[in-house]
């Protein structure tokens, strides 16, 4: 399985995901923005906005290569002279506060010395956490994980809990999901082909997983306090991405394409000093859940 085959498969998955999301949205369509990277490779950033379901969303594909820069050496500890990286990255911000924000990423990295690894994950950020829906989401992910390795969910779910944590708020970004990095035949029971299949299945399942969550909330009644809360939670999403997310920080500091890196940022985010949810309110219930990591599937 060559890097070209992986990149080509990811590019096809991007197209499939965008088509699926357009169907789900029912109103807006994705724009397409091809870009080249001076040092080698490029990408296709696809963005949707002002849809029926989605206020703003991006599905980015890239396949880049070139010399390992000093920034990459120091921040990623890479032992090699040149690299190849390809992946899909998605963030969707829905209008309706009763529909969750979602993020998915699959990526493949290879060095000229033959080292390679897969990384990725899916995580869900409901503005309002509904335990039954959170359970459904985690069950879907566990079902996929279990097809590849009975230990994957048990390993990749806590990895997401750790990764998607906002230390300065002592909150999780949402209800987590799965996250993994640096997987190869050397540290898993799987072959390279099987690891690729795991990532591909996450990507190809993405639309149906999100559709299920979206349909449960998209027609729910919206009151002003729901919108105000949605905007505050979007603010937290910005805080996580700009302060803590390793991919975002590495991208910005290593001269990546800013517009593609920051397509994850929401429309209309808000910050309010010392916001306090009313005791017993829906907002307070969600904050309670975000204060610790849960075992959703049992």
Task: Give the residue numbers marked as catalytic.
Answer: 103
Judged by beta carbon, residue 55 or residue 123, the one nearer a copy of itself is: 55
At 73, which helix (H) or strand (E)?
helix 70-76
Ramachandran class of 170: left when φ > 0, alpha when ψ lies in -120 to 50, beta otherwise: left
Binding-site member from 78, 197, 249, 293 for a copy of itself (CB under 8 A): 249
Per CB under 8 A, 165 contacts a copy of itself: no
Using the rule CB under 8 A, give the single segment among 174-182, 201-209, 217-225, 251-259 that binds a copy of itself. 251-259
179 φ, ψ (degrees, to nearest 5): -150, 140
Per CB under 8 A, 39 contacts a copy of itself: no
Judged by beta carbon, residue 133 or residue 172, the one nearer a copy of itself is: 172
Using the rule CB under 8 A, give the single segment among 104-112, 207-215, 268-276, 279-287 that binds a copy of itself. 268-276
Helices 152-163 and 131-148: crossing angle in degrees, nearest 10, is 130
Using the rule CB under 8 A, give the single segment among 115-123, 124-132, 250-258, 278-286 that binds a copy of itself. 250-258
Residues 133-169: b if buried by 16+ CB within 10 A, e if exposed: bbbbbbebbbebbeebbeebbeebbebbbebbbbeee
Residues 48-87 that bind a copy of itself (CB under 8 A): 49, 56, 58
Q: How far is Cα 186 from Cα 231, in angstroms, rounded to an integer?
A: 43
Is residue 58 within 8 A of residue 264, CB to CB? The reply is yes
259 φ, ψ (degrees, to nearest 5): -65, -35
Count the site residues for a copy of itself by CB under 8 A.
Answer: 33
Per CB under 8 A, 266 contacts a copy of itself: yes
Q: How far is Cα 163 from Cα 3, in angstroms, rounded to an integer?
A: 27
Q: How far is the CB of 230 from a copy of itself (least distance, A)?
A: 12
Q: Which residues lie near a copy of itself (CB under 8 A)?
A: 33, 45, 47, 49, 56, 58, 167-169, 231, 235, 238-239, 242-243, 249, 252-253, 258-259, 261-263, 265-274
């Amino acid at each position: 399985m060559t890097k070209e085959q992986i990149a080509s498969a990811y590019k096809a998955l991007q197209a499939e995901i965008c088509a699926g999301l357009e169907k789900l949205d029912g109103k807006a369509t994705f724009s397409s923005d091809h870009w080249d990277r001076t040092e080698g490779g490029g990408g296709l950033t696809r963005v949707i906005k002002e849809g029926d379901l989605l206020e703003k969303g991006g599905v980015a594909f890239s396949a880049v290569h070139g010399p390992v820069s000093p920034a990459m050496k120091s921040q990623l500890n890479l032992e090699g002279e040149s690299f190849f990286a390809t992946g899909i990255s998605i963030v969707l911000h829905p209008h309706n506060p009763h529909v969750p924000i979602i993020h998915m990423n699959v990526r493949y990295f290879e060095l000229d010395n033959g080292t390679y690894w897969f990384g990725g994950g899916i995580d869900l950020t409901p503005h309002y956490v509904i335990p039954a829906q959170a359970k459904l989401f985690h069950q879907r992910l566990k079902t996929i994980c279990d097809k590849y390795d009975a230990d994957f969910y048990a390993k990749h779910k806590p990895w997401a809990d750790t990764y998607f944590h906002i230390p300065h708020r002592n909150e999780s970004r949402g209800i987590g999901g799965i996250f993994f990095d640096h997987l190869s035949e050397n540290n898993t029971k799987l072959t390279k082909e099987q690891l690729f299949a795991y990532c591909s299945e996450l990507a190809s399942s993405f639309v149906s997983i999100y559709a299920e969550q979206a349909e449960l909330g998209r027609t729910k009644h919206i009151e002003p306090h729901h919108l105000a809360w949605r905007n505050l939670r979007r603010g937290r999403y910005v805080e996580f991405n700009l302060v803590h997310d390793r991919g975002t920080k590495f991208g910005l500091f290593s001269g990546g394409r800013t517009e593609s890196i920051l397509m994850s940022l929401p429309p209309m985010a808000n910050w309010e000093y010392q916001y306090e949810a009313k005791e017993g309110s829906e907002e307070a219930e969600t904050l309670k859940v975000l204060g610790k990591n849960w075992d959703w599937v049992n």
